């Protein structure tokens, strides 16, 4: 019989790192709340009888956020055999707040006292036996990074499952609260499982709306409970929920006083605090962030990343393309089929995969920034800025995820409780450059701005400015008016990135790009080649007389004011709706280059026929803001849960793209 172990804990407690170590999973570890929007599952290594469920990181079991609702519903309805509560030992009292609530569910709990390597390095001492005795459940010191204590944690967890009972001690509250809980609990006997009776009593005392709806007690019983609550509130002159919170912290404070001895600080500021005085400084924070992004783009696109391009070109042009063409000619394949395979599919896919080394380097550095704790600071900085313009700082969390792909970024908007802010986030998140847009930027930067890394990195600045300005405009409308949702975020201490996690994240992002090149882009490349090689009667013709050319000429006039009104570029803007990488594949096929990467001597001559430096930058801006790929549009439809709102998002994004590109080209043409 399979047993289920739930992993629960605060954000940044190392919970998902522990999940990866216990299951061998490649689930990515993030440094901000909300990275695991839904529970993840994996079997215990070396023993498939045990299923481990990684629940979203939460601070409590109160139903304020989607993560808390997901976790609470799973624990109440799923009833796992055991909860491993992952506690950050460097922030003991705050983490144990959730522990007391988990114990009240009646499910056996084992505490993984994580990050003990950092605690010991600080010189802090935790009396593990005393802590275990105080809470009534096993406490195992662990470090997911060094793997210390993991075998002991598994051994203790499996022992607890065999016992199949909870002996943990529930938190004790003040006399008035305990009196009320006893009275409310008596009303619940027989209607809820005995092991969860205290948990339900506490939630009713807190006037938890979701629990009230779940129990359906009836008006008479609810009135009796309300009378009890009002009596306690009158006696203590405090709200019921506040009473429970204060009593919990008093209970935990007494425990930590007995079990936790902190080392004397040598100075007033820790190393993380000293770094934060610079990187979160009111005036230095944003310039430092964009300087860092400039450096990353310089390395990824114009220095180290550029070294690998020749190898990829050789692979697809000289090795794969030439040999496939030779092989097809030897077996007497028709010229049109050879053209489809070599000049269509191989050239189209190759033109996109040429940029894989650059993307991998970019993803590597972004992963480093996330894993060391810096990206959490960026979210903090953006919250400070966003709130001035009526946006929630929570909106920046999906936008950070969107540097890899807009699809999971749009899905991450679920963590925003306020529907107005959530819809606005879905609409604005694609404005942040995703990995799929990088090949377009790299192509045009390589052709027109070969020595200017700031051109590509400026897309982040342009994207953030557009988010802020769009937020100001949307907040003026009736549909989005209102105060932004509050954003509470713990800044993790800086630490050395764990290279395994960094490479996992880099590979996960890059793998999606490569997979897309082998599927969507391969099919799109074949379709583009057919359309640019055949007439409406499906006869082989020159490109200028093709179906693609006639379709392109139909929509090209729309883009004349933007500086790229040729049919070739117009077609690329449409194919980009399949996947943004397809824009590069379209150029590769229509221009007949086979590859269009930086360093190709034909690149500037060919691209220069369709762009000037100003119109090239305008096209980059249009690509940045235009409606995202089909997969992202599908994610938008799922999160909006409305066709009308989905179309509103598409039209808004495309309208911003057109207006921004128009301004760039018209003003840029006057200046340059």
Residue 250 above 80 pLDDT? yes
Find the angle CA(321)-CA(313)-CA(510) to the nearest 5 degrees: 105
What are the tens digits of pLDDT across the range 39-58? 678 889 888 889 999 888 88
Of residues 666 and 120, more confidence is placed in 666
Give the other-Cβ count within 10 Å of 667's Cβ: 12
Give the other-Cβ count within 10 Å of 164's Cβ: 10
Identify the top-confidence range among 246-250, 259-263, 361-365. 246-250
CATH 2.30.30.40 fits 3-163, yes or no: no
Average pLDDT on 100-120 reads: 93
Instruction: Please count the residues of the chain.
Output: 672
Terminal-to-terminal C-alpha distance of the chain:
73
What would you report as the CA-atom Rg of the chain, rounded to the nearest whole angstrom? 29
> What span, in angstroms and rounded, lies between the C-alpha atoms of 172 and 176?
11
Of residues 31 and 13, more confidence is placed in 13
> What span, in angstroms and rounded, lies between the C-alpha atoms of 410 and 391?
16
What are the tens digits of pLDDT across the range 406-452? 887 887 787 676 788 889 999 999 999 988 898 899 888 888 887 77
Q: What's the confidence (pLDDT) of residue 558?
A: 95
- State whether residue 602 is helix, strand or coil: coil
Q: Give the pLDDT band (50/70/90) at residue 28.
A: very low
Average pLDDT on 476-490 reads: 74
Q: What's the confidence (pLDDT) of residue 300?
A: 81
User: Which residue intervals of the chain bear CATH 1.10.287.1770?
Assistant: 175-261
Q: Give the pLDDT band (50/70/90) at residue 489.
A: low
> What span, in angstroms and rounded, lies between the C-alpha atoms of 155 and 581?
48
Alpha-carbon torsion, ordered 376, 402, 365, 352, to 10 deg: 180
Average pLDDT on 335-343 reads: 83
DSSP class of 191? T
Of residues 19 and 307, more confidence is placed in 19
Of residues 515 and 616, more confidence is placed in 616
User: Which residue intervals of the chain bear CATH 3.40.50.300?
Assistant: 3-163
> What span, in angstroms and rounded, lies between the C-alpha atoms of 664 and 661?
5
Q: pTM of the predicted model, to two decimals?
A: 0.72
> What span, in angstroms and rounded, lies between the C-alpha atoms of 166 and 162?
11
> What span, in angstroms and rounded, lies between the C-alpha atoms of 271 and 121?
13
8 A C-beta contact, residue 513 and residue 631: no
What are the tens digits of pLDDT across the range 447-468? 888 777 788 889 988 998 999 8
Q: What's the confidence (pLDDT) of residue 39?
A: 63
Mean of the per-residue pLDDT values of the chain:
85
Of residues 402 and 175, more confidence is placed in 175
CATH architecture of 175-261: Orthogonal Bundle (1.10)
* Residue 324: burial class (beta carbons within 10 Å; 0-12, 13-18, 19+): middle
Q: What's the confidence (pLDDT) of residue 30?
A: 42
Q: Give the pLDDT band (50/70/90) at residue 35.
A: very low
């Amino acid at each position: 019989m399979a047993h289920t172990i739930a992993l629960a804990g605060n954000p940044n407690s190392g919970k998902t790192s522990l999940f990866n170590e216990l299951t061998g999973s490649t689930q990515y570890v993030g440094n901000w709340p909300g990275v695991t929007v839904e529970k993840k599952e994996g079997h215990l290594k070396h023993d498939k009888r045990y299923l481990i469920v990684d629940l979203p990181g939460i601070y409590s079991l109160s139903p304020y956020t989607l993560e808390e609702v997901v976790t609470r519903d799973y624990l109440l309805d799923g009833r796992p055999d055991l909860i491993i509560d992952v506690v950050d030992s460097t922030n003991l009292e705050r983490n144990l707040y959730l522990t007391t609530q988990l114990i009240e569910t009646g499910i056996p709990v084992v505490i993984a006292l994580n990050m003990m390597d950092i605690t010991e390095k600080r010189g802090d001492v935790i009396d593990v036996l005393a802590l275990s005795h105080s809470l009534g459940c096993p406490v195992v010191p662990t470090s997911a990074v060094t793997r210390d204590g993991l075998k002991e944690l598994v051994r203790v967890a499996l022992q607890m499952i065999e016992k199949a009972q909870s002996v943990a001690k529930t938190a004790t509250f003040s006399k008035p609260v305990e009196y009320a809980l006893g009275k409310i609990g008596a009303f619940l006997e027989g209607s809820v499982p005995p092991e969860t009776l205290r948990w339900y009593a506490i939630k009713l005392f807190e006037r938890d709306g979701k629990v009230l709806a779940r129990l359906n007690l009836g008006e008479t019983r609810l009135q009796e409970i309300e009378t009890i609550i009002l009596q306690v509130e009158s006696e203590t002159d405090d709200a019921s929920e506040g009473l429970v919170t204060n009593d919990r912290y008093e209970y935990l404070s007494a425990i930590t006083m007995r079990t936790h001895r902190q080392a004397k600080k040598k100075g007033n500021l820790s190393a993380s605090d000293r770094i934060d005085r610079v990187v979160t400084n009111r005036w230095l924070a944003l310039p430092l962030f964009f300087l860092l992004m400039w450096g990353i783009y310089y390395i990824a696109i114009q220095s180290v990343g550029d070294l690998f391009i020749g190898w990829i070109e050789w692979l697809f042009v000289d090795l794969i393309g030439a040999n496939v063409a030779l092989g097809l000619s030897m077996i007497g394949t028709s010229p049109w089929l050879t053209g489809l395979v070599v000049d269509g599919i191989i050239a189209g896919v190759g033109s996109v995969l040429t940029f894989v080394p650059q993307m991998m380097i970019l993803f590597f550095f972004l992963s480093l920034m996330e894993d060391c704790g810096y990206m959490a600071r960026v979210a903090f900085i953006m919250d400070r800025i966003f709130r001035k313009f009526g946006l929630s700082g929570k909106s920046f969390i999906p936008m950070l995820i969107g540097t890899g792909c807009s699809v999971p970024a749009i899905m991450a908007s679920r963590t925003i409780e306020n529907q107005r802010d959530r819809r606005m986030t879905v609409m604005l998140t694609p404005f942040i450059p995703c990995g799929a847009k990088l090949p377009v930027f790299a192509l045009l930067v390589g052709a027109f701005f070969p020595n200017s890394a700031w051109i590509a990195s400026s897309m982040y600045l342009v994207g953030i400015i557009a988010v802020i300005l769009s937020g100001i405009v949307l907040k003026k409308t009736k549909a989005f008016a209102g105060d932004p949702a509050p954003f509470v975020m713990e800044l993790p201490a800086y630490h050395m990135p764990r290279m395994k996690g960094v490479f996992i994240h880099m590979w996960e992002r890059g793998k999606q790009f490569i997979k897309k090149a082998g599927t969507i882009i391969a099919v799109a490349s074949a379709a583009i080649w057919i359309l640019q090689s055949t007439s409406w009667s499906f006869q082989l013709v020159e490109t200028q007389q093709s179906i693609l050319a006639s379709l392109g000429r139909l929509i090209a006039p729309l883009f004349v004011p933007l500086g790229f009104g040729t049919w070739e570029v117009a077609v690329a803007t449409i194919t980009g709706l399949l996947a943004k990488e397809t824009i590069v594949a379209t150029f590769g096929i229509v221009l007949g280059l086979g590859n269009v990467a930086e360093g190709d001597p034909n690149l500037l001559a060919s691209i220069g026929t369709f762009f000037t430096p100003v119109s090239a930058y305008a096209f980059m801006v249009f690509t940045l803001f235009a409606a995202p790929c089909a997969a992202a549009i599908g994610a938008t439809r799922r999160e909006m849960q409305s066709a009308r709102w989905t179309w509103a998002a598409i039209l808004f994004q495309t309208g911003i793209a057109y207006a921004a590109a128009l301004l760039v080209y018209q003003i840029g043409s006057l200046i340059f």
